[in-house]
Amino acid sequence: MNKPYYFIAVGGIGMSGLAKYLLEAGEIVSGSDIAPSKYTKEIEEKGAKVFIGHDENNLPDDCIVVVSSAIKEDNPELKKAKKLGLKIYHRSDLLAEISKKIEGKKCFIGYSGTHGKTTTSGMAAYVLSKGNLSPDFVVGGIVPELHTNASSGSGRYFVAELDESDGTILKYSPDICVVNNLEKDHTDFYKDGINSLLKTFETYLNNLRSDAKILINNDNLGNVELMKMCKGKNFITYGLNDADYVAKNIQYGKTTSFDIYKNNEFLCKLELCISGEHNVYNALAVLASINEAGEDINLVIPHFKTFIGMGRRMQKVAQIKDIEIYDDYAHHPTEIKASLSTLKLMGYKKIVAVFQPHRYSRLKSLWNDFLNAFDNADEVYVTDIYAASEKNTAGINSQMFVDELEKKKKCKYLSGSIKDVAIKLLPELTSGDVVVGLGAGTITSLGKELEEEVKVK
């Protein structure tokens, strides 16, 4: 019998997915988190014991301990695990171990890149599941209709989101590797910016088995540089221009349709109920990867048009009379541009962006890029920076950012909690506005807080 697994901070989106996968695979799982959440509740419903609060007495005497990069060395459960000499896995070690166990039994499709890996991996999990292909999957968001971020299926596919933010992508060796795009980000880890990131991906691709397939978006400049660095690799390209898989005849609006050509021959037509050029790339990557896996794409094609997007990816969360409110995880300048462009394509006349900067290091290192990311917004409101455990060694704050941004855009700083932000924002809104909360932190509660403020009024 395998040793039980104990997750420190089991309620995180990535950790909870791995815990669910193990539970469905018949493993014994327990864990802890600082507060109850919908994710801890779901894990408990699947049979796990979840402790609220981190305490060394929670830890079983003999288990495999799983941690994420967010867990500090002074965590009492981690200290106890080290004292007992227990095996300690970073969550990436566990995902790598799972992928090794299915090697030769299932086709491992790994989605990576600076942007879009949650959507592409989630979309793949969705269309394969709806096509009755029962994939295994572990992704970084809740898949619509499937209502989960992980599943242990009976089919021949294992789909995973592969995170590059801390270099742990080097631990994986998928059969089909998808690289969406590469841009400067995570400068807290990649000290030399894009150059460090490219070197990590060069190592990652060079470590793949010789029969692995590499699908890469060759419209992205970072990816083009990576291809130059890995000249010996046989890349399968996709994009909107000159590539092996090309999207043509694109029709945008609140929905999207386009034709896919492979090697200049018509392959299929896709319809999406989500908008934006970035989602054309996302769907193209998923369809191409499934085709390269040798699957009958006719089983999945009909289901692209019912994929409504991942949670927190341009997700409509509230409506106050005729003011629509969206929540979007965009926390990088390129993602913000894509999100605002999508709202423009959807026909909204006045776009109100509420931006919560995520990490001091990211805002400082991409300062000018952020300043140029809001062209499609009519008004911008900036909240306090969400530190994500970082200390402010950058010497910056949101007011400084607003002082520069308001030179080119109507902009205002709203301080305090998201509840405080909602109280200050509501009087500024007018009939017909569309509001989008942008960021990876607590901004996700903006829609709920605006609705609560309307009730109070």
Average pLDDT over residues 71-97: 96
Residue 161 is a catalytic residue:
yes
- What pLDDT, on the 0 to 100 scale, is given for residue 69? 84
Residues 261 and 142 in one domain: yes
321 and 369 both lie in a single domain: yes
Res. 112 pLDDT band, cuts 50 70 90: very high
Residue among 40, 114, 118, 120 flagged as catalytic:
118
Those residues whose C-beta lies under 8 Å from the C-beta of residue 314, and which sit 6 or more positions away, are 274, 276, 326, 328, 339, 342, 343, 436
Q: pLDDT confidence of 188, banded at 50, 70, 90? A: confident
- Does the residue 351 lie in any domain? yes
Answer with the one of 51, 72, 91 that is the final residue of a domain. 91
Cα separation of 91 and 78, whole Å? 14
pLDDT at 1 over 60: no
Q: Are residues 131 and 35 in the same domain?
A: no
Kindly state whether residue 452 falls inside one of the protein's structural domains.
yes
Considering 25, 59, 91, which residue would you say is the last residue of a domain?
91
Q: Is the pTM of this model over 0.95?
A: no
Among the listed residues 80, 57, 92, 69, the one whose alpha carbon sits nearest the alpha carbon of residue 9: 69
- Give 36's pLDDT tier (boundaries 50, 70, 90): very high
Distances (CA, A) of 337 to 259, 334, 353, 391, 438: 25, 5, 11, 27, 11
Q: Where in the sequence is the domain holding 205, given as residue range(s)?
A: 102-306
- Both 265 and 390 in one domain: the answer is no
Is 142 part of a structural domain of the chain?
Answer: yes
pLDDT tens digits for range 348-385: 989 999 999 999 999 999 999 999 999 999 999 999 99
Same domain, 116 and 220: yes
| 302 and 400 part of one domain | no
The reply to whether 96 falls in a domain is no
Place of tokens 């509660």: 445
- Determine whether 390 is an active site residue: no
21/43 Cα distance (integer angstroms): 10
**Catalytic residue (one of 27, 77, 161, 324):** 161
> Are residue 115 and residue 172 in the same domain, yes or no?
yes
* Shared domain check, 253 and 207: yes
Look up the CATH number of the domain holding residue 219: 3.40.1190.10
Domain count for the chain, please give it. Answer: 3
pLDDT at 457 over 70: no
The CATH number assigned to the domain holding 20 equals 3.40.50.720
Average pLDDT value for residue range 38-53: 96
Our answer to whether residue 334 is catalytic in this structure is no
Does the residue 45 lie in any domain?
Answer: yes
Q: Is residue 292 part of a domain?
A: yes
Summarize pLDDT for 301-321 with one digit per residue, the tens: 999 999 998 988 888 999 999
- pLDDT tens-place string over residues 211-262: 999 999 999 999 999 999 998 899 999 999 999 999 999 999 878 999 999 9
- The per-residue pLDDT of the chain, averaged, comes to 95
Residues 75 and 182 in one domain: no
Residue 58 has pLDDT above 70, yes or no: yes
Q: Are residues 87 and 106 in the same domain?
A: no
- Of 274, 306, 338, the position where a domain reaches its end is 306
Strands 434-438 and 351-355: parallel
What's the confidence (pLDDT) of residue 189? Answer: 87
List the CATH number of the domain containing 385: 3.90.190.20
Catalytic residue among 20, 80, 106, 117: 117
Residue 97 lies in a domain: no
| pLDDT value, residue 420 | 97
Angstrom distance (rounded) from CA 311 to CA 11: 16
Angstrom distance (rounded) from CA 194 to CA 220 = 13
Share of the chain above pLDDT 70, in %: 100
Please give the backbone phi and psi of residue 138, each rounded to the nearest 5 degrees, phi first: -140, 110
Q: At what angle do helices 418-425 and 446-456 cross, to 10 degrees?
A: 60
Are residues 84 and 175 both part of a single domain? Answer: no
pLDDT of amino acid 392: 93
Within a domain: 356 = yes
Please give the C-alpha separations between residue 435 and each of 24, 326, 386, 451, in angstroms, as whole numbers: 39, 6, 19, 13
If asked whether residues 247 and 327 sit together in one domain, one would say no
